Structure 1
Amino acid sequence: MSELTLADVYRARQRIKGRVVATPLVQSMALSRIAGVPVYLKLETVQPTGSFKLRGATNALAQLAEQGCKRVVTASTGNHGRAVAHAARALGMEAAVCMSSLVPKNKVDAVDALGARVVISGKSQDDAQVEAQRLVREEGYAYVPPFDDPRVIAGQATIGLEILETLPDASTIIVPLSGGGLFSGVAFAAKCVRPDIAMIGVSMERGAAMHASLAAGKPIFVDELETLADSLGGGIGLDNRHTFSMTRELIDHVVLLDEVSIARGIVHAYREERLVIEGAAAVGIAAVLDRAVETRGTNPIVIVISGCNIDIDAHRRLIGA
C-alpha cells in the first residue's frame, strides 16, 4: 500500500487549517427512516469551491509552495481543477487546468473565473492528462495529480478524521468512488482509527474505471462515457501507484448505479434534504434509496456528499422545476 501514514493525515489537517472548512455532519431523517438506522451526511458541499477536492489540492500546493514552486498544472473533470485554481490563487501561484470536452461548461467557467489558465484537450480525462504532462515537459509546470498522490490523498483523508471525531460509533462510511483519492483517503484514516468500520464505494455503471480495475486485478483502460455522475468519470491511470492498491486493500463493497438511480439521488437531495448536489455526490444517497447498503446493528451510516457543482439548468430539468 502507499507510504502514507496517519501522521501525514494529521499534518495535512494542520496545513490546510484556515483554508478549508471542517464540514458539518447532519442527520437525514428521511434516509434514516429508509435505512432503519441513523444516516448522516458529511457536507463537503460547503467548501469554498463546492467540493471536497479543496482539501487535497490545498495540502499538495502548500507543500509545493514551501519548496519554492510558482507554477502548477493539473488534469481534471472539473472539481479538482477548481480546487487547484483556488488554492493557487490563495498561495500566490500560477495554475493551468487541463480538461476534456466532456467537462460541463459550468465547471470550466468556474476554473476560468479563479484566474487559472484553462486548456481543453480531447474527449476524456486521459486526454487531458496527456496535455498536462506536455505542459510539465515543455513549460516547466509542476504537476498536481487529481487523486494518485500521497499529498492529495492525505488532504482528503482529513474527512475521515472529522467523521469519527464527531460520530465515533459510525458503522459504515459510504464514499463516491472514482480515481480513488477520496475513497482511499477517507478509508485509510477511518480504518486507522476504527479497523472494523465498513467502507463502501459507490460509482456509476457507465465507465466505472476503479471498479473494472479492481475486478481485473490491475489498473485497466475503460472508455469514459457521459453520465450524470460526471465527476466520477475518467481512468485511474495504467501506472497508478497509490489509489488502486489502497482502494483494493481498504474497500469492503462496491455499489454500481444506473442513471435513473443517480437522478433519483439528486432529486431526493433537493426535495428531502434541501441540498443542491451534483450526480457524483448523489451516489451514496442513491445507494441507500436502492437499499444496496447493508446495515450493521443499529449503528449509524455516514454518506460523504462530495460536491454541489451541478449545472443549474440540468438540475432544474431533473427536479422538474
Structure 2
Amino acid sequence: MKPLHLDTPLLRAAPGLFPQAEVWLKMDALQPSGSFKLRGVGRLVQEAAAEGVREIVCASGGNAGFAAAYAARALGMAVTIVLPETSSPAVAEKIAARGASVLRHGAAFDEANAFAIALAAERGARHVHPFDHPLLWKGHSTLIDEVLAEGVEFDAVITAVGGGGLYCGIVQGLQRHGLNEVPVIALETLGADSLSRSLQAGEAVTLPAITSIATSLGARRVAAEALRLAQSHPTLSLTVSDRDATQACVRFADAMRVMVEPACGAALAALSVHEATLARFKRPLIEVCGGIAVSTAMLATWTMSA
C-alpha cells in the first residue's frame, strides 16, 4: 500500500547555524501532519483499515493525535483522540479541525492512554499507541531509507526522544542497512528526560511528573524497546534546558524559515550546547521532527517563559 507520509526534503543546514560546517537536516516538520509521527502512525492506521477496522482511538500529547486524525480521515475512518490536560486548547482545535472527536482525560499521557485503551475496547475500535508498537517503529525507520537513497553520508544521527518510538525507528533503520556503528545522539529536555534517567539507573525509570515545556516529549516512562536499544546500540543520551531548546527553535526559524516545537528544538540545540562533546562528529544528520503546537505567538511565549 502507498504510504500516507511524504519523502521529505533532506537539506544542508544554513552556514553558521551549527558549529559543524556540514550538517544535514531531515525535514519531517514538512510532513502533512506537521511532524514525523505520520510515518509510524500512518502505517498503524493503514494496517487497521486493511483489517476492516472502522474506528481508531489514540491518546496523544498532540502530534501523534494529529497524525492519527489525518490518517483516519484519509482512509474514511472514525477517530477519537484523547489528550491529557497539559495539551493546549490550540492543539485540541487543530486536531478537531481534522474531523476527530477530541476528549480530555488525565494529568499526563499515561492516564490519557489508559482511558483510550478502555474506550477502544468499549467501542470495538482499534487502539493506536503513539510510540510503542513494532509497526510504528518500522514506519519511522523509513526516514533512514530516504536519507541513504539520497547518497548522503553521515556519521551520527541526532534526534529528540519522548516515548522513544522515533528513536527505535532510527536505530532499526540504521541496523537494517548495516550501519550498526553509527551512533544516535538522543536529546531530551530536563523535566522530560525519562530515557536519560533510565540509562543512568540501568533500568526503566518513571518520572514523577513532566515539568518541561516540551510537552511533546512528555512520556513519563520511555518504551521498553527504546531502553533496550539504547543499552545495545551506540547511543549518547544528552539533555538540554527548555531555554536551550526554545532558543534553538528561534535560530532555526531565522536560518531555515521553518518553525518547530521545543521538543524538536532539543535536537537542534545539541550541537551548540554540547559542542565539545559532539565536536568529533563532522557530518551529523538531525531529524527535524516538527510539531503542530508551534506558532509565532507560541514561539514568543516559550521564549519568554523558558
Instruction: Give me the TM-score of the superposition, normalised by structure 1.
Output: 0.87
After the TM superposition, which residues 180-259 of structure 1 pair with which residues of structure 2 at under 5 Å, given as runs?
180-193=164-177, 194-236=179-221, 240-259=223-242
Q: 1:136-180, CA deviations, whole angstroms, 9 ceiling, x for partnerless residues?
A: 232222111111100111111101111222244210110111111
Report the Cα offset of residue 242 of structure 1.
3.1
Q: Would the alpha carbon gap of residues 147 and 16 (structure 1) be closer, same or farther in structure 2, given more than 3 Å must change?
A: farther
Match of 2:68 among 68, 84, 92: 84
Match of 1:56 in 2: 40
* Shift in Å, 1:64: 1.2
CA distance in 1, matches of 2:11, 2:129: 31
Which residue of structure 2 aligns with residue 264 of structure 1? 247
- The residue aligned with 2:104 is 120
Counterpart Cα distance in 1 of 2:2 and 2:224: 24
Structure 2 counterparts to residues 268-283 of structure 1, below 5 A: 268-283=251-266
- CA distance 1:172–1:159, change in 2 (3 Å): same
| Displacement after TM superposition at 1:297 (Å) | 6.1
Partner of 1:157: 141
Which whole-Å CA distance do the structure 2 matches of 1:297 and 1:283 have between them? 18
2:53 paired residue among 69, 75, 83: 69
Of 137-146 and 160-169, the range deviating more from structure 2: 160-169
CA distance in 2, matches of 1:229, 1:251: 25
In the superposition, the TM-score normalised over structure 2's length comes to 0.91
Task: Identify the residue that residue 26 of structure 1 maps to in structure 2.
Answer: 11
Structure 1 partner of 2:162: 178
Which secondary structure does the structure 2 equivalent of 1:74 belong to?
Answer: strand
Structure-1 separation of matches of 2:43 and 2:2: 6
Q: Gaps (5+ residues) in structure 2?
A: none
Q: 2:292 aligns with which of 309, 312, 320?
A: 309
Deviation digits for residues 278-304 of structure 1 (CA, Å, limit 9, x no counterpart): 111111211112134524464x11111
| Number of equivalent positions | 301
The corresponding residue for 1:146 is 130
Shift of 1:196: 2.2
Range with bigger deviation, 74-83 or 194-203: 194-203
Q: Distance in 1 between matches of 2:157 and 2:124?
A: 40
Contact kept in structure 1, 2:246 and 2:299, CA below 8 Å? no
In structure 1, the gaps of 5 or more residues are 1-14
Q: Is the 8 A contact 1:16 1:59 kept in 2?
A: no
Out of 41, 53, 61, the position equivalent to 2:25 is 41
Q: Is the 8 A contact 2:188 2:266 kept in 1?
A: yes
Residue 49 of structure 1: how far off its partner (Å):
1.1
Residues 16 and 58 in structure 1, CA contact (< 8 A), matched pair in contact too? no
- The CA RMSD measured in Å over matched residues stands at 2.0
- Deviation of 1:218 after TM superposition, in Å, equals 2.8
| Secondary structure at 1:95 match in 2 | strand
Q: Deviations over 1:221-253 (max 9, x none)?
A: 21332423221112236xx55333233323520
1:122, distance to aligned residue in structure 2 (A): 1.3
The 1-side partners of 2:224 and 2:219 are apart by: 16
Structure 1 contact 49–86 (Cα < 8 Å) conserved: yes
Partner in structure 2 of residue 132 of structure 1: 116
Q: Distance in 1 between matches of 2:81 and 2:258?
A: 28
Q: Please identify, of 74-83 and 212-221, the stretch whose mean Cα deviation from structure 2 is larger.
A: 212-221
Cα separation, 2, equivalents of 1:283 and 1:167: 27
